[in-house]
Amino acid sequence: MVGSNAPSLASAGGGAAPQNIMKRIAYIATDSGIDGREKTRIAYAFWSERERDDHFDEDKNKDWKTKGELIVDEAVQKNQALAKLDGLDRLAIGLSAPLT
């Protein structure tokens, strides 16, 4: 979550972030189940706070969700998501070549 312990967008030397790293704020809603005892998962995420809030307002189960923010490295997150896809999933979204 964004706060005092959140990762910095700047490099360790205090300068600007390197150009090859694209960190962005992801506006999320987390869910821990009705009783709050399930493993917390990210129910949905958006690059825009407004989009997240609009979706949250329409969510019939919003009473069990919590809004939040995460700073994510967009390229790393994308590669992690693609690595979870099997061959048919990759083909369905137009990525027939294997992940390198």
pLDDT in tens, 71-94: 999 999 999 999 999 989 998 989
DSSP states along 3-29: STTSPPSS-TTSSPPPTT--EEEEEEE
Range list of H helices, 1-100 = 49-58, 74-83, 87-92
Contact 71, 28 (CB under 8 A): no
How confident is the model over 22-76, as pLDDT tens digits? 899 999 999 998 888 899 999 999 999 999 999 999 999 998 999 999 999 999 9
Query: What sign results for the dihedral spanned by CA atoms 35, 4, 12, 20?
Result: positive
Query: What sign results for the dihedral spanned by CA atoms 80, 81, 86, 92?
Result: negative
